[in-house]
Amino acid sequence: MRKLTVDLGRYSYPVLIGENILDQTDLLKKYINTGQVMIVTNVTIAPLYLDRVLRALGDIRAGEVIIPDGEEYKTLETMDQIVTRLLQNKFSRTCCLIALGGGVVGDITGFAAACYQRGVNYIQIPTTLLAQVDSSVGGKTAVNHQLGKNMIGAFYQPRAVISDVSVLKTLNDREIQAGLAEVIKYGLIRDPGFFAWLEKNIVRLLARDTGALVYAIEISCKNKAEVVTADEREAGERALLNLGHTFGHAIETGLGYKDWLHGEAVALGMLMAADLSCRHGWISGNDVTRITNMFSTAALPQKLPAILAAETMLDLMSVDKKARNGQMHLVLLKGIGKAFVTNDFDRIKLAETLKQFSSAAGQH
């Protein structure tokens, strides 16, 4: 088992990574100091892993909330179901929530924990590759609004993150591919050596090689932990983690949070960010080729969905949490491993990039 620490003083917590670690006696219980536990999961994950978590809790009895599966259910209405169940069971502010699922379950459970009685403990048990390398670490919690993704939320750190790679075996190929988008992101924003390793090992990751997965998850979480430790509330460096996300969130919002997975939208967003960076002369055509080849090998989207025209994308991108004083800010590249945030980009070149990736045949 690998152990990393997100060092935030009194709010520090461990990230535990390994195979079958959920089955280790008393591992989960170590981070629970209450008899009031509520597991939040969804209809897909519950039949697969709910019993396993209940066994890991031993003599601690736990309630459960099973929500629908899908980004379109990451709403205040769904969060209300969690809060209602806590109230019905008379849970106090010493209770603990367990998020058992992918990014949607983790985000909505974390936000419920942040809000319930002004804040209760929660633990992340991520069950997708994307959640294990990104959304479960760092304390970003939120639900979506029909006008924008993750617009209602809070920074709220978990007690622990337990990433068991054995649960990835039940994912379909598309979920693995989407998760790899966030893995690749760490190489692009700050770790060129990791990007080079991914170029050599992406096929092993797609084949779910355990050793490769554990290493990729560990390095991804190490990168994220370092960024979060330096900038918990995204006042500076943490914004770099949003490479591709302004484009990607616009895609997700435009599609009504259906059809594309988060990692697929962000992957295309990173390609668009690379293209725009190249149009400004900040990265080379060779860099763009390396980036494009990586996403192509991972079978991630190369074109916008047909229903999203360039003009529509531009409108959707203007409603973004990274906008400041009404000005759009983008995370762009000055090389592989060198991301930066700027509003000093050519709007005409941005329009050219959006047009470049628009296609009536661009359905995924």
Catalytically annotated residues: 118, 140, 182, 224, 234, 238, 242, 245, 249, 262
Task: Calculate the CA 44 to chain-centre distance.
Answer: 18
On whether the CB atoms of residues 258 and 231 are closer than 8 A, the answer is: no
Tracing tokens 């536990």 back to the chain, one arrives at 37
Contacts (Cβ under 8 Å, ≥6 apart) of 120: 91, 93, 94, 95, 96, 97, 113
Q: What's 68's DSSP letter?
A: P
The CA distance from 73 to 130, in Å, is 18
Dihedral of alpha carbons 69, 70, 71, 76, sign: negative
Contacts (Cβ under 8 Å, ≥6 apart) of 169: 208
Q: What's 156's DSSP letter?
A: -
Task: Count Cα neighbours of 97 within 13 Å in the Cβ-side half-sphere.
Answer: 35
Q: How many residues does the chain have?
A: 364
Question: Phi and psi for 122 in degrees, rounded to 5?
Answer: -150, 155
Tracing tokens 């809790």 back to the chain, one arrives at 57
DSSP per residue, 159-225: SEEEEEGGGGGGS-HHHHHHHHHHHHHHHHHH-HHHHHHHHHHHHHHHTT-HHHHHHHHHHHHHHHH
**Which H or E run includes 287?**
helix 285-297
On whether the CB atoms of residues 1 and 17 are closer than 8 A, the answer is: yes
Strands (E), 210-358: 330-333, 339-342
